[in-house]
Amino acid sequence: MSQHQKELDRHFTWFEKKLPPQPAKFFGWLRKPSSIYARIPIAVLLIAGGFLSFLPVLGLWMLPLGLVLFAQDVPPLQKPMAQGLGWVERKWLERERANSNARAQKTHSEPLRHSTDSVFGCDRNHTCDSKTSLVGNYMAASRHPTNFSFANHRADSFSASGVNLEAKV
């Protein structure tokens, strides 16, 4: 087994650990040497689907996946695929590290402000200016869904404790 094949196997194992159990089981089966008669046609179909990415359902994501599967059986493709997967793994780990650092910094930052602070022209002590900005009004209105209403539109909205408050005509 060549060094590039070992590197590919390491990347496959890393990727397989990131998958949910059912796809990971299929991916593990597809990597077995005995699955070559399924792996090659699937790789060719994925590569063809990658070239037809302008069609619905098919996408450009299929091309590298097909090439990676095809590289397992074609030695000239093993080195570039191992290098490409190494780059993807490095970027993935850098992103995870950056996200965890951002989460850690967020927990140690200043306390959260009240949701109405500076939206309605209020300061931290809730002393409000009588003239709120248009931006503040827009931001306050955009917090509610477009179909938000203060009125209750249910059929029983006009009855309270068994008394019908609707006028009978």
How does the average pLDDT of the chain come out, rounded? 74
Average pLDDT over residues 77-83: 89
Query: Two tokens at 54?
Result: 């302008």
Distance CA 1, CA 73 (A): 12
Helix (H, G, I), strand (E, B) or coil at 163: strand
How does residue 5 score in pLDDT terms, banded at 50, 70 and 90? confident
Structure confidence at residue 113 (pLDDT): 52
Residue 101: the pLDDT is 86
Q: Which of 26-35, 48-57, 133-142 has the lowest mean pLDDT?
A: 133-142
pLDDT at 25 (0 to 100): 92
Does 43 have pLDDT greater than 80? yes
Burial of 71: CB neighbours in 10 Å, binned 0-12, 13-18, 19+: buried
CA distance 106 to 136: 25
Rounded to the nearest angstrom, the gap between the alpha carbon of residue 14 and the centroid of all alpha carbons in its chain is: 19
CA separation for the pair 65, 43 (Å, rounded): 7
Per-residue pLDDT band for 161 (boundaries 50, 70, 90) equals: low
Please report which confidence band the pLDDT of residue 135 belongs to, taking 50, 70 and 90 as the band edges.
very low
Phi, psi for residue 90 in degrees, rounded to 5: -60, -45
Q: Which of 103, 127, 123, 105 is nearest to 114 (CA)?
A: 123
Structural domain boundaries of the chain?
3-106, 118-148
| pLDDT at residue 31, rounded to an integer | 87
For range 36-58, the mean pLDDT = 90
Helix (H) or strand (E) segment spanning residue 159: strand 159-160
Task: Tell me what pLDDT residue 73 has.
Answer: 87
User: What percentage of the chain exceeds 70 in pLDDT?
Assistant: 63
